């Protein structure tokens, strides 16, 4: 029996995994992936890392409790919540380690009703808590007021709370005519904070150079050690005990799409220095391991992932790696006895294991394994109903080796099957051997209903280093499509797919590749579903909330002098080639890929595609690029399966 839309959309999301300082406990969030009403909710859970299935819920889930962490010395749990006014601003609360559902969280600092905490971080010595606060305009009876584009107001500011003296007032450390980003870092001695500034709060700010500076607790308002990154680093900067800084930056900072890699600088350096990763694999995330000077690096290497321990002298070893599975969220601590404690949100599409939190330990120079399962949040999914996924490799048109995933019903030998290729979004993403439902779940859903589902990690995907990522810069519809098309050719050549029953479906960048594929004159597809896909890169760069990102993908923007390069990779110009039944799905309030992209494609096909049946456009009210309402997500899955079944079965 295939998975139902209700099962997929009712699956919970597990996130914000954090280990206690000694690795004995893990705290995390569990929330519905989709809202059933007009507000978001999330509950905190706590597990003992030494006891299997020890997870217990410690907050009710009636409010939005999120971003938990342990105090470094007391092990109290600090978190953000809107529990003072559900659906309102976020304030900081804390709970004791032994908390239960009956324990009332304690408010850490009293804020004005217009103030909301964006992020917080406790100092290494546990005495102070730094936080960014954004002051909102008072609600004018729910009416939307007049706005001025990029008006310099409602910037986040940086503040400090003395946790040893809660009666002291909240101290303002940085408040300027610029926006303080949520990524800030304490100095190892807890006397200063490194923070980043942006000129405005729009999403497009992330492509600008990022200013990083230092504020000392005893000199509020005074800026020290100003440094400008060519691009915003990914995540936090680590300030190591010997004084140097480590951060994640693009391997080729002059490119908008480039592999993530590990960099370093000193407080006085005029430029950063590349340390490791980014050439054939990506450094996707990292965690500071404290006074030892070590950090744990989450490395993406093709379809696999691993955790490397990287020390202050540049020496490293692999402490944990995937094997037929995938890690989502993760955490690691270095104990005083030299043991490394790992916790990871793991799933396996090979073995039919849905996402749960697992832990394991290892020592320096040794490779460990995850041995203890702490949670049981997806017991609804019987292993026999879970589709199976396996790695698939092939050669593209230029001889490049490409990897992807094929998925199909468990217990079935894939021969001559109805087939759907589902390219991932991004393009800075990758498909893995996972079993998860918190990102639409189209692959697992369709595979459970008897389809062979192809998931190519095409050029521009992460995990293969810089030369593999950089074709995303201005070359959409070229190597990315060649990689996608040659995967179809390869599975047909091996007898896995029925060449007369092949469809294509994708969302976001995958929606673009779907639109591109069904507008090719030699298309073999019998059906197509475009979800929030791009049809016109020029129009997109003029209307998206990330205009420079879209212009980088498309090759230019309408305001770029010279030839309109963006037309080369725009499916809109080739609508006459569409011959398949086309279903277009789009959120009405989508700011990333505005609704105009769907309407343009619909109108183009309607007018120019003489051999195609009339296209269908379904618009979902109130939905942005990432859908929030459960009823809409269910409707998408129902329409997806019905449309494919009609033309492929």
Residue 86: CA count within 13 A, CB half-sphere: 11
Q: What is the mean pLDDT of each run of 10 residues along the chain (649 residues)?
A: 94 96 97 86 97 97 96 95 90 95 94 91 96 78 74 85 86 89 95 91 78 92 89 92 94 95 92 95 96 95 97 94 95 95 97 97 96 97 94 98 98 97 97 90 96 98 98 97 98 98 98 98 97 98 96 96 96 98 98 98 97 97 96 97 98
- Go through 230-251 and write b for each residue having 16 or more CB atoms within 10 A of its CB, e for each that does not: ebbbbebbbbbeeebbbbbbbb
Q: pTM for the full model?
A: 0.95
Angle between helices 509-518 and 479-493 (to 10 degrees): 70
**Burial group, residue 338, by CB count within 10 angstroms (0-12, 13-18, 19+):** exposed
In the three-class reduction of DSSP (H, G, I as helix; E, B as strand; rest coil), residue 19 is classed as: strand
Tokens describing residue 576: 């006459």
- pLDDT score of 114: 87
**Assigned superfamily of 387-648:** Alpha/Beta hydrolase fold, catalytic domain (3.40.50.1820)
Alpha carbon distance 94, 383 (integer Å) = 38
Strands 91-95 and 77-81: antiparallel
Q: Where are the domains of the chain?
A: 387-648
The contacts of residue 231 (CB under 8 Å, 6+ apart) are 207, 209, 210, 249, 250, 253, 256
The DSSP 8-state label assigned to residue 527 in this structure reads E
Residue 340: phi and psi, rounded to 5, are -100, 125
- pLDDT score of 203: 79
H or E, element range at 608: helix 596-608
The rounded radius of gyration (Å) of the Cα atoms in the chain is 25
- pLDDT score of 140: 47
């Amino acid at each position: 029996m295939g998975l139902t839309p209700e099962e997929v959309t009712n699956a919970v999301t597990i996130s914000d995994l954090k280990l206690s300082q000694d690795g004995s406990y893990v705290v995390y969030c569990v929330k519905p992936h989709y809202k059933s009403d007009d507000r978001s909710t999330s509950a905190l859970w706590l597990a003992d890392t030494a006891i299997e299935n020890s997870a217990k819920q410690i907050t009710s889930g009636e409010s939005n409790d999120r971003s938990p962490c342990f105090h470094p010395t007391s092990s109290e749990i600090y978190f953000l919540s809107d529990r003072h006014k559900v659906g309102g601003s976020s304030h900081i609360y804390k709970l004791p380690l032994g908390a239960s559902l009956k324990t009332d969280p304690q408010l850490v600092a009293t804020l004005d009703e217009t103030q909301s905490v964006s992020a917080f971080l406790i100092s290494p010595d546990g005495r102070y808590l730094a936080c960014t606060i954004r002051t909102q305009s008072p609600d004018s009876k729910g009416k939307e007021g007049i706005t001025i584009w990029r008006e310099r107001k409602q910037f986040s500011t940086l503040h400090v709370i003395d946790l040893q003296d809660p009666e002291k007032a909240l101290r303002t450390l940085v408040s300027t005519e610029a926006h303080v980003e949520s990524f800030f870092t304490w100095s190892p001695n807890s006397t200063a904070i490194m923070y980043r500034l942006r000129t405005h709060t729009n999403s497009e700010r992330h492509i600008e150079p990022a200013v990083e500076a230092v504020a000392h607790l005893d000199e509020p308002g005074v800026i020290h050690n100003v440094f400008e990154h060519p691009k915003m680093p990914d995540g936090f900067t680590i300030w190591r005990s010997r004084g140097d800084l480590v951060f994640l930056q693009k391997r080729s900072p002059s490119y908008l799409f480039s592999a993530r890699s590990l960099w370093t600088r000193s407080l006085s350096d005029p430029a950063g220095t590349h340390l490791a990763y980014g050439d054939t694999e990506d450094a996707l995330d990292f965690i500071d391991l404290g006074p030892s000077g070590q950090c744990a690096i989450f490395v993406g290497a093709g379809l696999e992932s691993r955790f490397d321990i990287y020390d202050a002298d540049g020496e490293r070893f692999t402490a944990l790696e995937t094997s037929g599975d995938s890690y989502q969220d993760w955490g690691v601590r270095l104990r005083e006895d030299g043991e490394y404690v790992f916790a990871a949100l793991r799933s396996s599409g090979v073995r039919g294991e849905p996402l749960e939190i697992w832990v394991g330990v290892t020592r320096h120079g040794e490779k460990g394994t995850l041995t203890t399962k702490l949670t049981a949040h997806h017991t609804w999914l019987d292993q026999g109903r879970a589709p199976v996924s396996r790695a698939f490799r092939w050669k593209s048109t230029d001889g490049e080796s490409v990897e992807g995933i094929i998925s199909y019903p468990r217990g079935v030998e894939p021969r001559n099957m109805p087939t759907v290729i589902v390219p991932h979004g991004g393009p800075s993403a990758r498909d893995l051997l996972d079993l998860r439902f918190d990102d639409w779940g189209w692959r697992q859903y369709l595979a459970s209903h008897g389809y062979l589902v192809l998931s190519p990690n095409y050029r521009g995907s992460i995990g293969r280093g810089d030369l593999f990522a950089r074709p995303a810069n201005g070359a959409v519809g070229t190597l990315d499509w060649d990689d996608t098309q040659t995967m179809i050719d390869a599975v047909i050549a091996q007898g896995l797919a029925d060449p007369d029953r092949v469809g294509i479906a994708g969302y976001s960048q995958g929606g673009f590749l779907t639109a591109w594929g069904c507008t090719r004159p030699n298309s073999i597809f019998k059906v197509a579903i475009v979800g929030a896909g791009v049809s016109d890169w020029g129009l997109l760069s003029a209307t998206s909330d990330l205009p420079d990102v879209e212009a980088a993908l498309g090759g230019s923007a309408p305001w770029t002098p010279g030839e309109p390069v963006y037309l080369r990779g725009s499916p809109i110009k080739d609508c006459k080639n569409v011959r398949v039944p086309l279903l277009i799905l789009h959120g009405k309030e989508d700011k990333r890929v505005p609704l105009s992209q769907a309407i343009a494609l619909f109108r183009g096909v309607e007018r120019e595609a003489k051999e195609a049946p009339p296209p269908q456009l379904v618009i979902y009210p109130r939905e942005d690029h990432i859908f929030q309402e459960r009823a809409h997500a269910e409707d998408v899955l129902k329409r997806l399966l019905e449309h494919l079944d009609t033309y492929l079965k």
